[in-house]
Structure 1
Amino acid sequence: MNELKSLLPNSWESFYQQLDSNVLLLTAISLVAWLVWRVVYGRLEVLVARTAIHWDNLTLHALKTPISTLIWCWPATISLGFLLQQQMGTKLDWLSTVKLILVIAIFIWFTMRLINNVEEYVLQQKKRDETTVQAVAKVARLFFLTIGALTIMQAFGLSLSGLLTFGGVGGLIVGLAAKDLLSNFFGGMMIYFDRPFKVGDWIRSPDRQIEGTVERIGWRMTIIRTFDKRPLYVPNSVFSNIVVENPSRMLNRRIYETVGLRYEDGAKVEQIAQQIRDMLEHHADIDAKQTLIVNLNGFGPSSLNLMVYTFTKTVNWIRYQEVKQDVLLKIMTIVSENGADIAFPTQTIKIDPTSAGEIPILAHQ
């Protein structure tokens, strides 16, 4: 501040001293500056609304509140310094540090608002992967917060080299003490980079009782909503040690059924199988390019087992059930049109007439 005074002419220096000694004048100047900023912001808002790009809108919106805060807080800091110096009678060197911290805090605040605005805008467009967008936004926030914290520490006179040295030793101690927390953190990073699943995917694990829709992937844990709508909080480190199945990334859904025909319809099995195969090949919702099998598969206790193996085009579970029902109903129709029928579970009981008492048994004399 003294350097700024030395650069000003004598007339300006006297004016600056008047500003520095008059709290009411500083408040009035803050009010005028704030009103000017509101007018300028309104004009800029109209201008950026006419442009085709949206980044200027996001930047201007992020600037609005931090600039207003700076307009009021900067003169307030000068006024506070004047009042304290008047009461104490000594110059307060730490006020310059407070002003520097204020500027740094305003810059970090603006950066966080800008990152939030960009993240929200990109997610609304639905042109980018939601998990990737959230991961990039979190890394950007962490980066700028770290830079801001280091800058504030340096403003307090702390040596960055000493801080980094202490951080290396302290990090080792903290790492040993909080290994579970760190394993969850790196587990979250693994999910972001390997991307075995993303927000909105249906996942399940055959190793654990984990199944549901991914709602959020955090730094420490992942929130999964089960099918009965219960939230499931899974630490990220768990996913490093288990097998995760992602049914949401299926290309097709499989229909695998066994149709049992009566033994008396054995002569019609080949014809029925061919008609079912033709029906599946021409079905609008069946992917005929995938494996399609309709064959006699075995002799059951009371039926001739016909295997039906095919894949649907849809992966949506509800639509899959509708397609499967339609296929099964058409199979029943084909069986009925050929004069055959679906076999019922039956058992044949053979009774020995002698043991049943129909033939008298002569007693041994």
Structure 2
Amino acid sequence: MNDTPLIQDLVSAYREWHTAILVFGVVLCALLAGLIVRAVVERLARRVDEVRHVWAHGLLTSASAPAQSLVWIVGLASAVHVLLETREGAGDSVLAQVLGPARDVAIIGAVMWFLLRVAARVQDNMVARARHRGQELDPMATDAVGKLARASIVITAILMMMQTLGFSIAGLLAFGGVGGIAIGFAAQSLVANLLGGLTIFASRPFKVGEYIIIPGTDLMGGVEHIGWRATRLIGFDCKPFYVPNAMFNTQPVINHTRMTSRRIMEDIHIRYADIDAVPGIVADVRAMLGTHPGVKHDFFAFNFNSCGTFSLKLFLYAFTVDTDYNAYLNVQEDVLLKIAAIIRGHGAELTGPASTVDVPQWRAHAQDPDPSGPMGRLAPPPPLSA
């Protein structure tokens, strides 16, 4: 059997379709290589513990998809390059001129994607390792470091892409110095919010999970998230609201969570008739406060404060040991009940504001004209007739 004609046909077909065959082979190899690289990287990542090997686990788990994309980018660029080389005059075409910069930009984008994934994964791994060791990382500090790392990666990648595309970085920086003034005027609030966010991350007047109050406003709530532009708080009604970070540059902030104790401040009123019992009451209440387990003993005050319009006023000022709100209410209730018991033990009575009511006699007589009735006895007798 003579195979010469068949071989000649195959050779002629290859010469006619060799470009398509080469391009198809390159693309197929790139796709297969990408899948193999991803499978190998994911298999290695599963063998690395995220707690013991923070960086290795972060690198491997973040490299699977970007590595596959990088292989595909190089493979497709090689396929296009093979296609252009086999065609006469294609080297001067627009596609040939764009191929190199487009490939480089895509590679920089894949590397940026990989580094962003690494930054996020390493941050999560460090938090997980701290919890595994029974420690707790400051979420505000870790979030700030992660945001700064991601911002640096993105800015560097954008500058490299622009340089790859032929833009002058020095010219862009010079233009940015002039245009930054105009942009600053147009975006004053945005810049102020960004500076406010940097101030929060640097000085850390509060962090996520703490309860803050902004005096002079109705803004108070627990901190849920600190962003670059605004901070999200959750109020007592479980409704979230967003406070621009620029407000924290000019407004004072009360960090309610970092208080060392809660204050008890009350006015207690007793009758004027109990003036002789005041010294004993004050002495016994001070002794009770000095031994109460829920009250701080380094400073407290209980004194006869003033003579009110209708009662004698005793002033209580003390601080609780526990800052928990429920514990504070329980201590305050117990202290007030014990003070009331001491007042009763001295034969005195608690009192409050009193008022007098003026009932005109003519109205009382009109309501009860019977002279023998309770109101009639208060009213004057009717005038005698002439």
The normalised TM-score by structure 1 is 0.81
Aligned match of 1:79: 79
In structure 2, give the amino acid aligned to 1:346.
A
Distance 1:41 1:120 in 2: 18
CA contact (8 A) 1:21 1:82 kept: yes
Which residue of the other structure, out of 86, 95, 100, is the alignment partner of 1:96? 100
Displacement, 1:349? Answer: 7.9
Displacement, 1:189? Answer: 1.6
Q: For the structure 1 residues 59 and 327, does the alpha-carbon distance in structure 2 shift closer, same or farther, using more than 3 Å as the test?
A: farther
Residues 12-27 of structure 1 aligned to structure 2 (within 5 Å) = 21-27=22-28
Compare 84-93 and 260-269 and name the one that shifted more.
84-93
CA contact (8 A) 2:210 2:222 kept: yes
Aligned match of 1:304: 312
Q: 2:144 matched to 1:140? A: no
CA contact (8 A) 2:310 2:353 kept: yes
Aligned match of 1:55: 55
Distance 2:264 2:20 in 1: 82
CA contact (8 A) 2:34 2:69 kept: no
Q: For the structure 1 residues 336 and 83, does the alpha-carbon distance in structure 2 shift closer, same or farther, using more than 3 Å as the test?
A: farther
Any stretches of 5+ residues in structure 2 without a counterpart?
Answer: 1-17, 362-376
The normalised TM-score by structure 2 is 0.77
Q: For the structure 1 residues 218 and 39, does the alpha-carbon distance in structure 2 shift closer, same or farther, using more than 3 Å as the test?
A: closer
CA contact (8 A) 1:19 1:25 kept: no
Q: For the structure 1 residues 321 and 141, does the alpha-carbon distance in structure 2 shift closer, same or farther, using more than 3 Å as the test?
A: same
CA contact (8 A) 1:27 1:76 kept: no
Distance 1:276 1:147 in 2: 68
Which residue of the other structure, out of 202, 209, 220, is the alignment partner of 2:229? 220
Distance 2:302 2:23 in 1: 94
Q: For the structure 1 residues 88 and 288, does the alpha-carbon distance in structure 2 shift closer, same or farther, using more than 3 Å as the test?
A: farther
CA contact (8 A) 2:26 2:75 kept: no
In structure 2, give the amino acid aligned to 1:230.
K
In structure 1, give the amino acid aligned to 2:70.
L
Displacement, 1:185? Answer: 1.5
Distance 2:350 2:262 in 1: 25
Aligned match of 1:150: 159
Aligned match of 1:165: 174
Displacement, 1:25? Answer: 4.7
Distance 1:294 1:159 in 2: 75
TM-align CA RMSD? 3.3
Residues 262-341 of structure 1 aligned to structure 2 (within 5 Å) = 262-289=271-298, 291-341=299-349
Aligned residues: 343
DSSP-derived class of the 1:49 partner: coil
Aligned match of 1:65: 65
Q: For the structure 1 residues 218 and 315, does the alpha-carbon distance in structure 2 shift closer, same or farther, using more than 3 Å as the test?
A: same
Displacement, 1:348? Answer: 6.5
Any stretches of 5+ residues in structure 1 without a counterpart?
Answer: 1-16
Aligned match of 2:119: 115
Displacement, 1:339? Answer: 3.3
CA contact (8 A) 2:30 2:76 kept: no
Displacement, 1:249? Answer: 2.0
Distance 1:40 1:153 in 2: 31
Aligned match of 1:196: 205
In structure 2, give the amino acid aligned to 1:333.
A
Summarize deviations over 1:88-134 as a string: whole Å, max 9, x none.
85131432222222221122111111221233344554623222222
Summarize deviations over 1:244-279 as a string: whole Å, max 9, x none.
222222111100011112233333222222222222
Which consecutive aligned stretches of 4+ in structure 1 deviate over 6 angstroms post-superposition?
A: 17-20, 348-351, 356-360
- The structure that has the greater radius of gyration is 2
CA contact (8 A) 2:30 2:72 kept: no
DSSP-derived class of the 2:246 partner: helix
In structure 2, give the amino acid aligned to 1:61.
T
Compare 250-259 and 263-272 and name the one that shifted more.
263-272
Aligned match of 1:13: none
